[in-house]
Amino acid sequence: STKLELTNIEKVFKTKTGDVKALSNIFLSVEPGEFLAVVGPSGCGKSTIMRIIAGLDKPTNGTVEINDKPLKKIADGAAVVFQKDVLLAWRSVLDNVLFPLELKGITWLDRKNKQTNRSKALELLESVGLKGFEDKYPHELSGGMKQRVSICRALIQDPKLLLMDEPFGALDALTREQMMYDLLKLSDKYGFTTVFITHSIEEAVFLSDKVVVMSERPGTILKELPIALQRP
């Protein structure tokens, strides 16, 4: 898994009406296998941090290091889950989970690979309670189920770093609770490093080894919370 270090990150967006300082003074370090939650009010720059870690956006100042090396264009071994992840409507659940492997050019002509990947996808689906759903299509699934499929689609890539931006934000309370247990299980099983963005202090405390709290704009880190509660 991955070690992550953000040093003195600043992000300024240039807009028609002037500069928007979204982040300033961000220092973060995440050890291999650690589960970090970033909590803060809406608009404080959480998504911006995540996009910067994923390599989808560049900081105005400061550095991002992954395993002690400067981040290249896209974070190596990183997979991302967003709040409302889009599944491909014309593909079955199984083929949605397999999609990132196809993008990477792991070809379906390779029969051995195909079998292995298929079994891995089925195993992941089973581990989030979607056994038997592999041939369904996205429109046949509930919001929670779709979100589980997108988590499987991230995990099939064997990520060393899992980045999640409000992944349970659109779910009802019961589903969210179940998903939190599922995610803990997966995180213990696979041992990836996780950065989990949320505005829910409850999710943060439940899931993570370390919580950082952000202030309102311009987003900066207010404090690191000690985790007093034990994981279940």
**Residue 217 touching ligand ADP (CB under 6 A):** yes
Nearest to 81 by CA among 117, 118, 57, 50: 50
- Distance of closest approach, residue 24 Cβ to ligand ADP, in angstroms: 11
Q: For the window 53-72, what string marks contact with ligand ADP as x by the rule CB under 6 A?
A: --------------------
Contacts of residues 201-205 at CB distance under 8 Å and 24 or more positions apart, as own/partner, are 201/39, 203/37, 203/168, 203/176, 204/37, 204/38, 204/39, 205/37, 205/229
3-state SS, one letter per residue, for 174-221: HHHHHHHHHHHHHHHHHCCEEEEEECCHHHHHHHCCEEEEECCCCECE
Q: Which stretch binds ligand ADP (CB under 6 A): 102-110, 171-179, 180-188, 223-231?
A: 102-110
Which member of 95, 126, 177, 209 binds ligand ADP (CB under 6 A)? 95
Which member of 27, 84, 102, 140 binds ligand ADP (CB under 6 A)? 102
**Residue 117 touching ligand ADP (CB under 6 A):** yes
- Other Cβ atoms less than 10 A from the Cβ of 168: the count is 25
**Residue 225 touching ligand ADP (CB under 6 A):** no
Phi, psi angle pair for 52, to nearest 5° = -70, -40
**Residue 101 touching ligand ADP (CB under 6 A):** yes
**Residue 188 touching ligand ADP (CB under 6 A):** no
**Residue 216 touching ligand ADP (CB under 6 A):** no
Question: Contact positions toward ligand ADP, by CB under 6 A?
Answer: 13, 15, 20, 22, 40, 42-48, 94-95, 98, 101-102, 106, 108, 114, 117-118, 217
